[in-house]
Amino acid sequence: MSLGRLTQDTVKLQFDPKRYPPDLLYWVLRCPEYRSYCRERAIGTTNLSLSRDDFLAFPLPTATAERLGLIALLEAVEHRIDLLRQTNATLEAIAQALFKSWFIDFDPVRAKAEGREPEAMDAATAALFPAEFEESALGLIPKDWAVQSLDSFATYLNGLALQKFPQESDEEYLPVIKIAQLRAGHTVGADRASARLKPEYVVKDGDVLFSWSGSLEVEFWCGGDGALNQHLFKVTSEAVPKWFYYLATRHFLPGFREIAAHKATTMGHIQRKHLTESRLALPPAAVIKGLSAVVGPILERRITNSLQARALATLRDTLLPRLISGKLRLPEARERMEAALA
């Protein structure tokens, strides 16, 4: 058991558990009504705070059977979101491990060159790899593979200065995807830009985004349609499938972060030359196509899971206000959850 101390700006809540179960308090404090209540009464300038009297004056709803049932549903939604995120972390780790083994360490080729069967793959997949190496600018690489830079097989489209493309109206616009939105995975509170941008600057679910400045990240975007802001690359390719250019870019991300960290500016970044300098061994198209059957579904599942987590988070945020108002009936809430999971 670990012990901790409360700081002066932290409180420990203790209520009658029969009247106000801890789960009820937890979810009430996450409700938008409570957040709004706090904002309206916040004091201070840089560090905002809430007075004790104002905090205690917030009206708590009673623990009715309907509310407790809704809380159980909210807990189930939250658990499902957490499970999807954990699954995605596992899928990502598997995909990255396969990429490193096959395209960086060349484990299947080494095994075949030594007369061994490649591990953890069937005969059809193993047949895609050669059994010998040849010299290259990178040293020994699999026979008939070619050394290529990231920007030779993928396109890195930089975003626009979207303040030059204002929204048409309150009904017609695209949320602006900046580095903050990429890290958060959604566009809540984002700036707005024109909905009439060239199609290549419109971001869709499943697109690969790479923030090359500030906080360097490479992610699948799953936050809905948006506008590509400057300092972000949208990565595409006509030469290789999505899974390959995504994992290839992620492979070089630690090096890119190291470069950015040594920039003598307030916001570290990389330059396009660093994409050109990042080279790896690219297999023939037939090999990439064959391996797509193994790696492609792993990352497609990751995208699907992220979209489902977004739908569940939207459902959770829709249900939360009803916790205080009590205007939602459980059968309706369950129907919505089933629809989100479908």
pLDDT digits (tens, 9 = 90+) for 116-136: 999 989 999 999 999 999 999
Give the pLDDT confidence score for residue 2 in this predicted structure. 44
Question: Could you give the CA distance from residue 209 to residue 77 in angstroms, rounded to a whole number?
Answer: 28
CA 114, 116, 117, 120 torsion-angle sign: negative
Is the pLDDT score of 221 beyond 60? yes
Structural domains for the chain: 22-83+311-341 (no CATH), 151-282 (3.90.220.20)
Give the pLDDT confidence score for residue 311 in this predicted structure. 92
Is the pLDDT score of 9 beyond 70? no
Summarize pLDDT for 328-340 with one digit per residue, the tens.
Answer: 677 777 787 777 7
Is the pLDDT score of 208 beyond 50? yes
Mean pLDDT of 299-310: 97
Give the pLDDT confidence score for residue 246 in this predicted structure. 98
State the burial class of residue 94 (Cβ atoms within 10 Å of its Cβ: 0-12, 13-18, 19+). Answer: middle
Q: With contact defined as beta carbons under 8 Å apart, do 282 and 267 qualify? A: no
In this prediction, residue 313 has a pLDDT band, given cuts at 50, 70 and 90, of very high
In this structure, what is the dihedral angle of CA atoms 290, 294, 299, 301, given to the nearest 10 degrees? 120
Mean pLDDT of 25-46: 85
In this prediction, residue 8 has a pLDDT band, given cuts at 50, 70 and 90, of low
The SS3 of residue 186 is coil
Q: Which of 73-77, 166-170, 178-182 has the lowest mean pLDDT?
A: 73-77
Q: Which residues 6+ apart lie within 8 Å of 260 measured at CB?
A: 213, 216, 268, 269, 270
Give the pLDDT confidence score for residue 140 in this predicted structure. 97
Mean pLDDT of 203-221: 96
Mean pLDDT of 67-86: 92
Amino acid present at 24: L
The chain-wide mean pLDDT, for the chain, equals: 91
Is the pLDDT score of 115 beyond 70? yes
Mean pLDDT of 169-195: 96
Give the pLDDT confidence score for residue 1 in this predicted structure. 37
